[in-house]
Amino acid sequence: MTLPDAQTVTSVKHYTDRLFAFRVTRPQSLRFRSGEFVMIGLMGDNGKPLLRAYSIASPSWDEELEFYSIKVPDGPLTSRLQHIQPGDQIILRPKPVGTLVHDALLPGKRLWLFATGTGFAPFASLLRDPDTWDKYDQVIMTHTCREVAELTYGREIVESLKGDELIGEMVGDKLVYYPTTTREQSPKMGRITTLIESGEVFRDIGIPPLDPAVDRAMVCGSLAFNLDIKALLEKAGLREGANSDPAEFVVEKAFVGDGV
């Protein structure tokens, strides 16, 4: 490819028939804040780039860039992207943006990261960022998926943290990992929204209910999920923040549409 925005795939790992992760070379000039997204893609059949928004799943200090992706069978991009191999090239527009960043939250004591499905991707970046562990006394990572196998990528990231040379000591006992499934049996079943409403998640972790003086939250899932969590956070007195106006929680869509 002769495009200036071409990057080379360095590794690919498939998790299920719907999910995979891959790593690419990082443009030397690319600076981003953990949690942001960029446009990536492939050259379309019409000779024009076919680009989609993707959260950068690797932390800002990483030499490479990692992405965690859905495979939509007839999706214009992912029907092809799912076949990439090391050595292949993808297009990456080096203009990172997004609201799931520490700058958009006011200081707090406890950080909730609420993800469904591929919404885990921005948190894979934030969990590996020393700032996350520097800023908070406790970090609660919730991940709700339909099936157990869909939790694997997130679980691997979480399990790698304690042994991580850079942040292992900072993580210490600050991390609570709270995976749940909705359509396959697992140790914790149910939508996280239901578990918040019933108070079960707070009893499980052994902490008081959401409190705007203490709790901060980042949310990434389907539109329906984001709206439901937002309503629960607002009911508890937390306000939505933005880069220009930091507050108690921030939200970003994991994808556009109702699902395939």
Ligand X SMILES: NC(=O)c1ccc[n+]([C@@H]2O[C@H](COP(=O)([O-])OP(=O)(O)OC[C@H]3O[C@@H](n4cnc5c(N)ncnc54)[C@H](OP(=O)(O)O)[C@@H]3O)[C@@H](O)[C@H]2O)c1
The footprint of ligand X (CB under 6 A) covers 18, 116-117, 144-147, 150, 182-183, 191, 193, 222, 224-225, 228, 259-260
Judged by CB, which is closer to ligand X: 52, or 191? Answer: 191
- Binders of ligand FAD in range 1-20 (CB under 6 A): none
Element housing 169 (H / E): helix 168-171
Q: Answer whether 94's CB lies under 8 Å from 3's CB.
A: no
User: Nearest Cα to 217, choosing from 126, 97, 118, 96?
Assistant: 126
Stretch that binds ligand FAD, among 26-34, 51-59, 133-141, 176-184 (CB under 6 A): 51-59
Kindly write out the interface string for residues 126-165 of this chain, putting x where it contacts ligand FAD by CB under 6 A and - elsewhere.
Answer: ----------------------------------------
Interface with ligand FAD, residue 69, by CB under 6 A:
yes
Element housing 19 (H / E): strand 19-25
DSSP for 45-59 reads: TTSSEEEEEEE--S-
Judged by CB, which is closer to ligand X: 162, or 235? Answer: 235
Residue 230 binds which entry of ligand FAD, ligand X, none, with Cβ cut-offs from 5 to 8 Å by kind?
none
Q: Answer whether 220's CB lies under 8 Å from 123's CB.
A: yes
The sign of the torsion formed by the CA atoms of 186, 187, 193, 198 equals positive
Interface with ligand FAD, residue 72, by CB under 6 A:
yes
- Binders of ligand FAD in range 79-98 (CB under 6 A): 79
241's tokens = 């923040």
Judged by CB, which is closer to ligand X: 81, or 145? Answer: 145
Task: Report in angstroms how near the CB of residue 165 gets to ligand FAD at its nearest.
Answer: 26
User: Nearest Cα to 129, choosing from 97, 167, 103?
Assistant: 167
SS (HEC) of 222-242:
CHHHHHHHHHHHHHCCCCECE
Stretch that binds ligand FAD, among 62-70, 170-178, 191-199, 240-248 (CB under 6 A): 62-70
Q: Answer whether 102's CB lies under 8 Å from 131's CB.
A: yes
Interface with ligand FAD, residue 68, by CB under 6 A:
yes
Residues lying near ligand FAD in the complex (CB under 6 A) are found at: 37, 52-55, 68-70, 72, 75-79, 117-118, 121, 252-260
